[in-house]
Amino acid sequence: MTQGPDQSLLFVTLRPHRSLTPRGLWLVVICVGLASLAAALPFIILGFWPVAGFYGLDVALLAFAFRANAKASETTEELALIPLELHIRRKRPQGRTEEWRFNPVWTKLHADRHEEFGISKITLLSRGTSLLIGQDLGPADKEKLYSALSSALSRAKAGPLFATGDQF
């Protein structure tokens, strides 16, 4: 099997894990809002109406937090490795894109491991530059990413494989 200098060794798109869909998030906010309304109703009837405002404030803050969380989940990180280059592109929800390019020969992969939780951080090190990758992943996903990227970097450091003249 031949491997040219432009053949992809690894292409991964990383997205933060979210346990609820947008519809599920709004269902939670509506349920909490109804529970807050039920809890605030006796206070309103007894004339302590300012208390109801605090119940409503809790629901509004919860909705704001869920909305910010949903916006943050739009972050993506793409890792593309060919034998001559490791390219990383991070797209932020605000529309800003950051890009880094590394030579795989000079790139080291480092993982900070916790004996109970597994990998906590994955860092790429190359010629004085360090870059954290996969920050939004859980420990199990970081382990898979580390394993795949380590294997692909090893293949890239071995260099491209070309067919000899007697193979077809």
* Residue 102 CB-density burial (10 A; 0-12 exposed, 13-18 middle, 19+ buried): buried
Res. 2: pLDDT tops 60:
no
Residues 35-53: pLDDT tens digits?
999 999 998 899 888 888 8
Greater confidence (1 vs 19) lies with 19
Residues 120-168: pLDDT tens digits?
899 999 988 899 998 888 888 999 999 999 999 998 888 766 666 555 5
Mean pLDDT rounded to a whole number for the chain: 86
Pairing outcome for strands 76-82 and 85-91: antiparallel
pTM listed for this prediction: 0.71
Provide mean pLDDT across the span 95-104: 91
- CA triplet 103, 107, 108: central angle to 5 degrees? 170
